[in-house]
Structures are given as structure tokens and as C-alpha cells.
Chain A
Amino acid sequence: MGKRTIIPFGPQHPVLPEPIHLDLVIEDERVVEAIPSIGFIHRGLEKLVEKKEYTEMVYVIERVCGICSFGHGWGYCASIEGAMDIEVPARAEYLRTIWHELSRIHSHLLWLGLTADGFGFESLFMHCWKVRETILDIFEKTTGGRVIFSVCKVGGVKKDIDKATLREISETVTKIKSEIMELADVFLEDNSVKNRLCGVGYLSKEDAMELCAVGPMARASGVRMDMRIDGVGVYNELGFEPVTTDEGDCYGRVKVRIHEVYQSIDLIKTAIDLIPEGELSVPVSGPVTGEYIARLEQPRGEAFYYAKGNGTKFLERMRVRTPTNMNIPALVKTLQGCDLADVPMLVLTIDPCISCTER
């Protein structure tokens, strides 16, 4: 039996994308155990409900994370709308769905670029991010901001997209599909990439269900779980089926996310064809009473929003549970038995977003 050493990994490390701290117990270059600890980005945003009214709290919740910011705004508004029994107009739901699916494409492209950077393939990283820039230009054209949109409010949306811009979005999204297919060819068929991805970090289906993994991490192990089947938004009318594979290792997770990008492109085009005319929002007034839970599918998995009101214009409790929070036990399990050089790859495959986890 070799000698065991403990190596601290993170939060500052050249190859680590997010500030998570892991204490790795290693024995001759093989990881035996990993102990995570977080808390470097804890801002206590949930406690601000005591100071900000529920209509102003949207701007705080949107800034929980930069990559999935629209999803947080939508989830918060959905939980308040459920507690107050407000019916959102159909056009607003379609617009929210279109923005959310564009958000999913940009998040997956960002992740693909970071994965390529994680195993040292910088030119692929730059090409992925170049494609992502066209999506950010669409965001700026429709909402005014590239990263934080400020377009969702309790009761609907604030801005409209006219027909000409919708057609332009449809054409842009079709054009980038061919560019993404070229990049996907490199990820899935290239030999040197496959050497780093296949067989690394295997998570079986029973383990994924036992550890309650969510999102593409669970879908790559064969668990058919997606909040878009029954959740907020108009996915039922667009005809949606979750993407799963059976491989269960890093290669499977890359494949699931690439196919989700193709699926999002199809969903956006269908939504643009079916969008109805109508109002953008309904007026909202009065205090919040009661409690409500809304769930939606962020790019990283299932996100949970619990709102509890106490009859005044301030909420009593707002709880945001983000998908990375639920995937950390699965990360700890896949790290057992891997090589030391694969640790950054494995941390990247759960698609960590530590600022979401710690709010």
C-alpha cells in the first residue's frame, strides 16, 4: 500500500474554472477520496428579501449567476405568480421560452469551450466562443444587455420582439447550426479528444439515482429526467423529448450537451412559428400571501424556487436551490479512483456554477 498524501486543490488554480476547494487524498497519483468545501462566493442574497420589495427583488435574483441569469429571473417570477395566482399572457410565455432556450445554447457553448480548454485544446475553445458571440448579439439586440437581461418581471415581460427580428433570429440560429456541427465533429470523432474523455468518471445509472444527480449529468447515465416535460413554459405545445445516452462517462456528457444544443435550435424555430399575438404583461399589485414552489430546467439541471409571503410587500423567505448544489455529491463519487490529471476534467463535467450554489 502506497503512502497517502493530501493535496489541496483550488479555489485558485490555473485550470480550475470555478472557486471550489477540494481536499484530495491521493495514493501514488490516484485519488482515493475527495472532500469538497465551498463558501468563497457566499453573498447572502436570499437574506435581501427583508430589505427589497418583491417587485425589486427580481434584479437581485437575476444577478445570482451570470450564465444562467434569465432562468433565475424566470423561476423567481414564476414562484411569485403562482403564490398570487396570476395568469401570465401567452405571448409572454412564448417570449420567455425563446429567451431561455437561447440562454441554454449560449451556456452549453461556453461549457464546450471550457472543456476544450480543460484538456489544453485552445483553438477549439476560441472557435466555440466565437460562435457564442452571435447569440450574445441577439440578446443585446432584443433585450439591451449581453449577460444580464432585466427583461423578466412579475406578471410578464418588459420588452417585445417584433416580427422582423424574430425572423432574423430564426435565420441566425439556422446558420450557426452548421458551424456547431463542425465543432461537434471535433469533439465526438477526434482521437486525441476521445482519449481524454472516454472511460473517465463513470457514473452508473443506479449511482446517479441514489445520489439524486440532476441535469445532463444524470441524463448521460440513462436517467430520463427533465423538468421541461411538465414545467413552466410552453414546451408541451412545442413537442419535446429529453436527450439521454447510456455511456455515463465524460464522453456521454459532452454528447448529451451537444444534442441539447441542436434540440434547442429546433425548439426556438418552432416557437417562433407558433408565437401568438397578445399582451406582454398583466398589472400586479398587493402583498404576497401563502407559499409556492416553481421548478424549471436550467442549462445545468433542475432549479427549485420556493417563495413564502407573509402578507406584506416583503417576502418572508426566498429559497433558490440550484442544480450544481445537487451535483456535488455525484462529483465526490466520480472522483474516487480517478487519476490526478483527470480531476479538472471531472470538476468541469458537472458544469459547476459555484456562484449559483452559494448565492
Chain B
Amino acid sequence: MLVSKISKLVLRSLFKKPATLMYPVIPREWQERTRGHIGIVQEDCILCGICSKKCPTNCITVDRNKRKWTIERMQCIQCGCCTDVCPKKCLTMEQAYTTPETFKVIDNFDIPQPAPKDVPVPKAETPVEA
């Protein structure tokens, strides 16, 4: 005779493997849309500054003269506004969460100068039809 109505459930889970994960020793499998942190593809950025204006917490700073793109990791709320409005689509939402630290993390990225455009080699001339 079982003592309580939950006895069957408890005995069953005694013999199953645990439902919890030893995180962070065992790394977690992230889902596809998980909002972890913001990443930037530095070569595509044109330093327009739209992401900085749209950010609700003002955590992005864009310096045109020094060609730097800065983000304060602890201010960012991973809302995704900057990734939506970037005209060159160089900002992405990465999946891993920011690691806990004891100081406010600020990440600086140097934006390289845009590569000079190559002069297109003219192909074999086609006669212009009159």
C-alpha cells in the first residue's frame, strides 16, 4: 500500500537518469534562436551609426574618426534592435550567453579601411548593334 499518491511517481523517477544538467561543466546545447550576445563582421561595417541610435540602452558607441565600434556587454539586453536595422547586415545574434565577470566588460572592435575597388577587366568587346 503506497503511503501517498505521489509514491509511484517518486519511485519511477528514482530509477531514471537525472533531469538536470551539470552546467557549466557540461556545455549546453543552444537553440537556433537563442539570444546570447551580439557579434559583428568587422569588414562589412560602414560606421553609419544607426545601431547606436536605435539601441534602447545606449550600449553601442561608434567612433568614425578612430574607426572603432564599441559595445558594453553588461548593458546589452540582447533585444535585437541593432541587428534588425543594420543596413549592411553585419551584426548577428550569437547564441552563447555572456560569461559572468566581476567587472563591466567593454569590447572594442577595429573596423578596417574598406578594400580599394578593383578596376574591372574589360571582357572581349562585343560590337554594339546599331
* A interface residues, Cβ below 8 angstroms from B: 52, 56, 59, 121, 123-124, 127, 130, 133, 137, 140-145, 148, 150, 158-159, 182-183, 185-186, 189-190, 192
The contact string, 1 if C-beta is below 8 Å from chain A, for chain B 11-37, is 001000001000000000001111100
User: If the complex has contacts A141-B31, A144-B34, A159-B33, are A59 and B79 also in contact, measured as CB distance less than 8 A?
Assistant: yes
B5 within 8 A of A: yes
The 5 closest A-B pairs by CB, nearest first: A144-B35, A56-B56, A144-B33, A190-B5, A186-B5
For residue B93, give the distance in angstroms from its CB to the closest CB of chain A: 7
Contact B56 A143 (CB under 8 A): no
- Interface centre among A137, A143, A145, A158, by most B CB within 10 Å? A145
Across the interface, which residues of A come within 8 angstroms of B31, CB to CB? Answer: 137, 140-141, 144
B121 within 8 A of A: no
Contact B5 A52 (CB under 8 A): no
Across the interface, which residues of B come within 8 angstroms of A121, CB to CB? Answer: 6
A158→B35 CA distance, assembly (Å): 14
For residue A197, give the distance in angstroms from its CB to the closest CB of chain B: 14
Q: Which of A56, A124, A145, A158 contacts B78 (CB 8 A)?
A: A145
A144→B96 CA distance, assembly (Å): 11
Across the interface, which residues of B come within 8 angstroms of A158, CB to CB? Answer: 80, 84
Across the interface, which residues of A come within 8 angstroms of B79, CB to CB? Answer: 59, 150
Contact B34 A140 (CB under 8 A): yes
For residue A231, give the distance in angstroms from its CB to the closest CB of chain B: 27
A56→B54 CA distance, assembly (Å): 9
Main secondary structure of the interface of A (DSSP, over half): helix
B48 within 8 A of A: no
- Chain B residue at smallest Cβ distance from A129: B19
A-B contacts, 10 of them at CB < 8 A, read A56-B56, A59-B56, A59-B77, A123-B6, A143-B33, A144-B35, A145-B34, A150-B78, A186-B9, A190-B5
For residue A156, give the distance in angstroms from its CB to the closest CB of chain B: 13
* Residues of chain B from 74 to 130 with CB closer than 8 A to chain A in the complex: 77-80, 84, 93
A186→B57 CA distance, assembly (Å): 46
For residue A108, give the distance in angstroms from its CB to the closest CB of chain B: 19
Contact B4 A141 (CB under 8 A): no
A56→B19 CA distance, assembly (Å): 38
Across the interface, which residues of B come within 8 angstroms of A127, CB to CB? Answer: 6, 9, 13
For residue A154, give the distance in angstroms from its CB to the closest CB of chain B: 13
A140→B9 CA distance, assembly (Å): 28
Contact B33 A186 (CB under 8 A): no
A257→B120 CA distance, assembly (Å): 70
For residue A150, give the distance in angstroms from its CB to the closest CB of chain B: 5
A47→B57 CA distance, assembly (Å): 16
Contact A145 B35 (CB under 8 A): yes
A59→B56 CA distance, assembly (Å): 8
B10 within 8 A of A: yes
Contact B33 A123 (CB under 8 A): no
Q: Which of B4, B33, B77 contacts A190 (CB 8 A)?
A: B4
Additional A-B contact list (5), CB under 8 Å, known A141-B31, A150-B78, A159-B33:
A137-B31, A140-B33, A140-B34, A141-B32, A186-B5
User: If the complex has contacts A123-B10, A182-B9, are A150 and B80 also in contact, measured as CB distance less than 8 A?
Assistant: yes
A158→B31 CA distance, assembly (Å): 18
Q: Which of B6, B33, B56, B93 contacts A52 (CB 8 A)?
A: B56
- Interface centre among B5, B10, B57, by most A CB within 10 Å? B5
For residue B111, give the distance in angstroms from its CB to the closest CB of chain A: 26
A181→B18 CA distance, assembly (Å): 22
- Chain A residue at smallest Cβ distance from B36: A144
Across the interface, which residues of B come within 8 angstroms of A182, CB to CB? Answer: 9
Across the interface, which residues of A come within 8 angstroms of B93, CB to CB? Answer: 144
A148→B57 CA distance, assembly (Å): 16
A185→B33 CA distance, assembly (Å): 36
Contact A130 B19 (CB under 8 A): yes
For residue B43, give the distance in angstroms from its CB to the closest CB of chain A: 26
User: If the complex has contacts A52-B56, A144-B93, are A189 and B80 also in contact, measured as CB distance less than 8 A?
Assistant: no
